Amino acid sequence: MTDHSIESPLHADQLTENPFTLFARWFEDAKATEINDPDAMAIASVDKDGMPSVRMVLLKEVSEDGFVFYTNYESRKSGELLATGKAAFVMHWKSLRRQVRVVGSVEQVSSAQSDAYFATRHRGSRIGAWASAQSTPINTRSELAAAVEDIEARFEGVDVPRPPHWGGFIIKPQEIEFWADGAYRLHDRFRYIQDDAGNWVATRLNP
């Protein structure tokens, strides 16, 4: 019998027809084993000159439409994502010795979807979304604290609405690669790409 334990390398017979099914399986494994932030992913974008940048965000929703995270639409990353409509990310789960890499197009989610997620956030995080002009210079942390106090006073006793400059992005994958650590750097890699009929086709890659 083939060993399909989570410690095993990734074998061809462990692949699923739909990569989102395999991702969901790995994601649940990560939630059970990672010490911190199993939903952390490094998002890469490029500016108008082609200079790349990367930063960590948290995956909040996933479906067969794509992978969703939320951020300030006026931040550096948002400016780059909106300008190019392209993104890539990687999720690395150290405890499992696995990673998933995704490349695809990116677009904003609907206002209704952003509103729904924003309403689930802790009040302090909702205040912070108003107070921080993300990615812009600030002289001292005291200035940020003062901005938080101003927003707290503004919304005292009432629900904190979603700022118009804050919301979600969805990355719609064109390729999804699964990587499992192997002995002597002989890793297992399978890349899924959709064919012309929209079916996902997996190809094993050299490590």
C-alpha closest to that of 99 among 39, 42, 180? 180
For the four alpha carbons of 84, 18, 99 and 9, in that order, the dihedral sign comes to: negative
**Catalytic residue list contains 185:** yes
| DSSP codes joined into one string, the chain | -----TTS---GGG--SSHHHHHHHHHHHHHHH-SS-TTEEEEEEE-TT--EEEEEEE--EEETTEEEEEEETTSHHHHHHHHH-EEEEEEEETTTTEEEEEEEEEEEPPHHHHHHHHTTS-HHHHHHHHH--TTS--S-HHHHHHHHHHHHHHTTTS--PPPTTEEEEEEEEEEEEEEE--GGG--EEEEEEE-TTS-EEEEEE--
Q: Choosing from 141, 185, 189, 191, which is the catalytic residue?
A: 185
List the catalytic residues.
185
